[in-house]
Structure 1
């Protein structure tokens, strides 16, 4: 596999089976520069807060008093200049008012000048998509995705464990976007699934780059949130700033090379699952021992909270 970037020399360096220290340092510098040029900036923060304010005002007009919150990539250090903004309303909306509430939100967004306002209503999804004309930021708005908020918080805690986490995650996202293999449709993995792959890989190394925050959580501090098919246990260690630094000293370039090698040569997709809930150094998780029925050809990436949700359920090697 080849990392993001158009430089031929970068590709040649990357193709070496064993990178020299000089090549690794050079790749690190180039990738850091690439990430700097594509990073989330202050103007994106300004746009996000303005959009949140508009959505909050629209919902207040309908007498909804709950909170409007960001989740997904933009709520973590995995965000970039091209990240979509995922927003959810956490207050109560009666089931009979969900469709009418979203319809009113759509009309109000159009009245405020937002563009490409559309709806996506399926058996599993109720959301409104629109574009902010001043920044071209694409926005997805939904109701009651408390689990998404919690997922995002855990991902951000993992980013805080080690600076290499967000760098590797962003590089993998850039690679997936460049080759058009990241999507919530068409049999591709979504961005969240790729980030779980990054975390599981970093947990599996010996020594590990990141610990297992779910296994480190206190048993006396449950945190149950309503998911798609019932209540989900979402506890994890949140006080990560005092954790000891990893003994793994691999460069970001080495980790990116190792990521592709791990999933293309070492990880057996017909038998194994990506499961950060059980991730640890040298761990192998049997996908047939998890909650969701699967088969050999199907990939398995477990949602760490909604254990019945296989994020790769529509993916296989083909």
Structure 2
């Protein structure tokens, strides 16, 4: 709890991300909308988290994302308050840049509306129970410290980690969470008008879980679940179904070691492809479970004071 309270994103941080100079860049685009997405909006961000943004263009302004981002990159280079704009040609291309004079980094994409829908679905899960946000933040810090939280190096993305935590909390004998997609499909319909997506979660009544486990017990159980109980060779993690699905012969999961079903079937499937990375991840889960089960002390797997100091120094 101390770690969460020190590292969680504050309302002032969110305001800064919403109203920073980047927002002013698009004032002239009256038929475009800029959305803050990712951990800065879904409630799972740290004070040092980067800001993800999606620029949604109207149909008559839509074009190739690379072309639009290249145009914006040239514009950004002329602005005194933007530093080092880089065009990253990923599956979802992004323009990455910094606010000059600060450590605040932005990732801007074009028309990735699935990311907007995922943001508000994750936000609904994050606030469904008071234990969700603290345990996810601590697990993300643990995974980063254990060097298994870097998708660019073949390990787990933060998005994948979050889905793994939610899935675990759904599959306990007394679940901490339900499947919100199954219980409230009308609030998370992929066909809902984009402007209405932020309102969808406001119509969900509070979820009251009969599970009263402490954060410590849930953290230990999370490590045990993926170190011992979960069958990586035959199951796919699914938050949508609130259970583990059988890994069939679908091309999506063939020759993949960690398989996590995304929120929407048309989204990119999350998986770990390299056996060596998979073994490293499994080892970290097993070793951290052994240490935490033995010592019952978070410092045995994560240097809490060091993490808090690092977070404070980056603000």
> In which range does the TM-score fall when normalised by the shorter chain?
0.7 to 0.9
- CA-CA distance at 1:240 after TM superposition: 6.4
Between the aligned partners of 1:40 and 1:312, the Cα distance in structure 2 is: 28
Are the aligned partners of 1:182 and 1:191 in contact in 2 as well (CA < 8 Å)? yes
- CA-CA distance at 1:119 after TM superposition: 0.8
The residue that corresponds to 1:10 in the other structure is none
Higher share in helix = 2
- CA-CA distance at 1:121 after TM superposition: 1.4
The residue that corresponds to 1:76 in the other structure is 42
Name stretches of at least 5 consecutive residues in structure 2 with no aligned partner: 280-315
* CA distance 1:302–1:218, change in 2 (3 Å): closer
The residue that corresponds to 1:119 in the other structure is 87
Measured against aligned partners, the alpha-carbon deviations of 1:247-294 in whole angstroms (never above 9, x if no partner) come to 000001110110010001000111111111111xxx4321217x6532
TM-score calculated relative to the size of structure 2? 0.77
Q: Which of 5, 14, 18 is matched with 1:49 structurally?
A: 18
User: Does the residue aligned with 2:235 lie in a helix, a strand or coil?
Assistant: coil
The residue that corresponds to 1:300 in the other structure is 259
1:87 and 2:47 are equivalent in the alignment: no
TM-score calculated relative to the size of structure 1? 0.77
- CA-CA distance at 1:185 after TM superposition: 1.2
Are the aligned partners of 2:256 and 2:273 in contact in 1 as well (CA < 8 Å)? no
Within a 5 Å distance, the mapping from 1:10-25 to structure 2 comes to none
* CA distance 1:239–1:45, change in 2 (3 Å): closer
Measured against aligned partners, the alpha-carbon deviations of 1:120-177 in whole angstroms (never above 9, x if no partner) come to 014x131100112343011100101111111110111112210111111111111112
Between the aligned partners of 1:275 and 1:308, the Cα distance in structure 2 is: 13
Between the aligned partners of 1:40 and 1:177, the Cα distance in structure 2 is: 17
Aligned length: 270
- CA-CA distance at 1:299 after TM superposition: 1.4
The residue that corresponds to 1:211 in the other structure is 178
Within a 5 Å distance, the mapping from 1:147-226 to structure 2 comes to 147-218=114-185, 222-224=189-191
The residue that corresponds to 1:144 in the other structure is 111
Between the aligned partners of 1:101 and 1:142, the Cα distance in structure 2 is: 10
Name stretches of at least 5 consecutive residues in structure 1 with no aligned partner: 1-31, 227-233
Q: CA RMSD in A?
A: 2.6
1:310 and 2:269 are equivalent in the alignment: yes
Between the aligned partners of 2:150 and 2:164, the Cα distance in structure 1 is: 15
Between the aligned partners of 2:103 and 2:3, the Cα distance in structure 1 is: 21
The residue that corresponds to 2:239 in the other structure is 276
The residue that corresponds to 1:38 in the other structure is 7
- CA-CA distance at 1:101 after TM superposition: 2.5
